[in-house]
């Protein structure tokens, strides 16, 4: 495919993120109105899952069906990948069969390797460095509630993980201020943080990292959290839960944000740890709207990258 585009990082949509959010809105409106929209009729998406998933798998699979296409769920243990076939060879073979590949991987470098060797678009369904599809959905969800995005403040509270990294780049790109409150030693990726700050500077926004969650949420329009123990970190569970305890999103923390601030979580949530039931089920929570919007955002990503819509 000449000039194929991959979505491996938020960097890949830096120039058309606003357009992608508009497309998500348009597709959502069509879906709600019951209007058929099938730009991917007859096309197939291979989905490789090294990590388990609820939202990513269901939203991509249903999204492909609603866009007129077909998705194949592939577990590495069911592929020759599980028996030592290289990522490069897998990419070359799948490219002969399908129109796009979504890869949910343990390592960012493996997603890059797949993209380098595939002749069809590769979409990053999550890796240890970024979660770009999640950020597109998150920004779309915020935009539905509060516009314009530029000038808003997002406070991320918790682990400076893949979700935080992509949010930094995404927030900077749309001109939204963001402060990440993380314990010392758990800050976001320094290279991506530098890049986000540079983008933010061009957009008139600010990107900060803090250690005090109360000061970070001061004046925030959006408070965002994620699990303290990501997949693959189970051995650190006890230690992490102790370190992150002061970073719980609870009603006391919300008191420091704007009165109309909304709360987000990319799910799955460990209730009673990073977020309390009272907040997650409370009137400020838009967590389940955010989860629903994975479907609409994923459809926009598929239409844009597989069909050039």
Chain segment 156-189, per-residue pLDDT in tens:
999 999 999 999 999 999 999 999 999 999 999 9
Mean pLDDT of the chain: 96
10 Å Cβ neighbour count for 42? 9
User: Same structural domain for residues 191 and 273?
Assistant: yes
Say whether the peptide bond before residue 187 is cis (omega within 30 degrees of 0): no
What is the distance between the alpha carbons of residues 150 and 158, in angstroms, rounded to a whole number? 23
Q: 3-state DSSP call for residue 48?
A: strand
In this structure, the answer to whether residues 138 and 125 fall within a common structural domain is: no
- Annotated active-site residue in 265, 294, 296, 304: 294
Instruction: Say if residue 161 is in the same domain as residue 57.
Output: no
Of 303, 307, 300, 302, which Cα lies nearest the Cα of 18? Answer: 300
Residue 1 lies in a domain: no
Q: Which residues, in sequence order, are CB contacts of 47 under 8 Å at separation 6+?
A: 57, 60, 61, 71, 72, 73, 74, 101, 102, 103, 104, 125
196: in domain: yes
Judgement on whether residues 144 and 276 belong to the same structural domain of the protein: yes
User: Do 58 and 102 belong to one domain?
Assistant: yes
pLDDT band at 232; cut points 50, 70, 90: confident
Q: How many domains does the chain have?
A: 2
Both 105 and 142 in one domain: the answer is no
d(CA 49, CA 21): 25
Does the pLDDT value for residue 230 go beyond 70? yes
User: For 230-240, what is the mean pLDDT?
Assistant: 87
| pLDDT value of residue 76 | 85
**Residue 250 clears pLDDT 60, i.e. is over it:** yes
104 is an active site residue? yes
Give yes or no for a contact between 226 and 159, defined as CB atoms under 8 angstroms apart.
yes
Query: Which residue in 104, 108, 129, 304 is the catalytic one?
Result: 104
The verdict on whether 294 is a catalytic residue reads yes
Domain shared by 206 and 267, yes or no: yes
Residue 270 forms part of a structural domain: yes
Residues 138 and 118 reside in one and the same domain = no
Mark whether 167 and 286 lie in a shared domain: yes
Give a yes or no: residue 111 inside a domain: yes
In this structure, the answer to whether residues 81 and 148 fall within a common structural domain is no
pLDDT of residue 1: 43
- What percent of the chain is modeled with pLDDT above 90? 94
| Beta strands across the sheet bearing 70-74 | 70-74, 44-49, 100-104, 122-126
Mean pLDDT of the 199-226 span: 98
308 has a pLDDT exceeding 90: yes
Q: What is the CA radius of gyration of the chain?
A: 19
Q: What are 56-108's pLDDT values in tens digits?
A: 999 999 999 999 999 999 998 888 887 789 999 999 999 999 999 999 999 99
Residue 2 in domain? no
Q: Is residue 271 annotated as part of the catalytic site, yes or no?
A: no
Catalytic residue among 131, 240, 265, 304: 131
- pLDDT at residue 204, as a whole number: 97
Active site annotation includes 226: yes
155 in a domain, yes or no?
A: yes
Q: What pTM did the predictor assign?
A: 0.96
On whether both 165 and 269 belong to a single domain, the answer is: yes
CATH code, domain carrying 161: 3.40.50.1370
| Confidence check: pLDDT of 8 > 90 | yes
Residue 212 has pLDDT above 50, yes or no: yes
Question: Is residue 4 situated within a structural domain?
Answer: no
Catalytic residue among 99, 127, 128, 226: 226
What's residue 286's pLDDT? 98
Encode pLDDT of 259-276 as tens digits: 999 999 999 999 999 999
pLDDT, mean of residues 203-226? 98
- In this structure, the answer to whether residues 254 and 118 fall within a common structural domain is no
15 within some domain: yes
pLDDT tops 50 at residue 248: yes
Domain encompassing residue 223: 134-290
One of 266, 290, 296, 304 is an active-site residue; which one?
266
Instruction: From the candidates 66, 134, 248, 298, give the one annotated as an active-site residue.
Output: 134
């Amino acid at each position: 495919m000449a000039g194929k585009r991959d979505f491996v990082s938020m960097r890949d949509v830096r120039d058309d993120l606003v357009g992608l959010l508009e497309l998500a809105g348009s597709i959502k409106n069509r879906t709600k109105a019951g209007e058929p929209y099938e730009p991917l009729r007859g096309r197939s998406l291979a989905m490789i899952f090294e990590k388990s998933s609820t939202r990513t798998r269901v939203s991509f699979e249903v999204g492909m069906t609603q866009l007129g296409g077909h998705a194949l769920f592939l577990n590495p243990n069911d592929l020759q990948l599980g028996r030592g076939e290289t990522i490069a060879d897998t990419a070359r073979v799948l490219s002969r069969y399908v129109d796009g590949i979504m890869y949910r991987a343990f390592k960012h470098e493996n997603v890059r390797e797949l993209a380098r060797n595939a002749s069809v678009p590769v979409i990053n369904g999550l890796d240890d460095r970024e979660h770009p599809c999640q950020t597109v959905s998150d920004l779309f969800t915020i935009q539905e509630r509060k516009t314009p995005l530029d000038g808003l403040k997002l406070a991320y509270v918790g682990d400076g993980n893949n979700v935080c990294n992509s949010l930094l780049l995404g927030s900077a790109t749309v001109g939204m201020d963001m402060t990440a409150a993380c314990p010392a030693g758990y800050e976001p990726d320094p290279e991506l943080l530098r890049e986000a700050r540079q983008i933010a500077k061009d957009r008139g926004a600010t990107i900060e990292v803090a250690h005090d969650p109360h000061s970070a949420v001061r004046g925030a329009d959006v408070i965002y959290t994620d699990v303290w123990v990501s997949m693959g970190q189970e051995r650190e569970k006890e230690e992490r839960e102790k370190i992150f305890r002061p970073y719980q999103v609870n009603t006391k923390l919300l008191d420091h944000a704007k009165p109309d601030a909304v709360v987000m979580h990319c799910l799955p949530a460990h209730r009673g740890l990073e977020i309390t039931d009272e907040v997650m089920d409370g009137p400020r929570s838009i967590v389940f709207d955010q989860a629903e919007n994975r479907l609409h955002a994923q459809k926009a990503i598929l239409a844009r990258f597989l069909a050039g819509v």
